[in-house]
């Protein structure tokens, strides 16, 4: 695992030991960022099921100003912090150990809207559409915000979630990438 492009291109990233986390492979990561960027001019992002932090770190390397990383697993939080330190990105990140819905409620209280949301939960997780709806209901999306969901290829997400509209969708082996956009 490594950073694919941007200011931290080529930097290695540590994986999480065991099989509890499934890191996004480089080919899929490159495809995701080709679909949504590939580069950014600032903005704040949320990596809600951060795992190793690979997607959020890639977004920072490609120009995002700040990313909030959230994961429920203590070991994942440690690896995220190590990967941020290895890439000299700690000062552009906030890292929290929390369950996804509790994290969204906490972010709502902070009134912190996002320009980019990365959702890469375990493939058994089936509540992505509900969480996208919560992001919108809680006012956590800036105008034109991009939401990227990586799910099992068998899971098809709706074309419309409230005012959030599906923009693109692609399959890569057992993974499906779905890109949504909030209204401008």
Do residues 161 and 130 lie in contact, with contact meaning Cβ atoms separated by under 8 Å?
Answer: no
pLDDT for the residue 28: 87
102 in a domain, yes or no? yes
pLDDT for the residue 151: 92
Which residue range(s) make up the domain with 111?
A: 26-181
pLDDT for the residue 20: 54
69 in a domain, yes or no? yes
Buried b (16+ CB within 10 A) or exposed e, 104-128: beebbeeeebbbbbbbbbebeeeeb
| Low pLDDT (below 50) residues in the chain | none
The structure tokens 């499934």 sit at 22
pLDDT for the residue 143: 97
153 in a domain, yes or no? yes
Query: Domain tally for the chain?
Result: 1
CATH number, domain of 80, equals 3.40.50.150
CB atoms within 10 A of CB 87: 22
């Amino acid at each position: 695992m490594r950073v694919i492009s941007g200011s931290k291109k080529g930097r290695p990233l540590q994986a999480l030991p065991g099989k509890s986390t499934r890191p996004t492979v480089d080919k899929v990561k490159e495809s995701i960022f080709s679909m949504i960027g590939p580069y950014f001019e600032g903005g704040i992002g949320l990596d809600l099921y951060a795992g190793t932090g690979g997607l959020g770190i890639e977004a920072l390397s490609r120009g995002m100003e700040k990313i909030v990383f959230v994961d429920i697993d203590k070991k994942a939080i440690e690896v995220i912090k190590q990967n941020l330190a290895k890439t000299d990105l700690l000062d552009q990140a906030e890292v929290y150990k929390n369950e996804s819905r509790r994290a969204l409620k906490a972010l709502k209280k902070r009134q912190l809207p996002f320009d980019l949301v990365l959702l890469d939960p375990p493939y058994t997780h089936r509540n992505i559409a509900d969480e996208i709806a919560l992001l919108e209901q809680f006012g956590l999306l800036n105008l034109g915000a991009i939401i990227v969901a990586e799910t099992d290829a068998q899971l098809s997400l709706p074309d419309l979630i409230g005012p959030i509209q599906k923009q693109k969708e692609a399959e890569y082996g057992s993974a499906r990438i779905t890109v949504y956009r909030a209204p401008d």
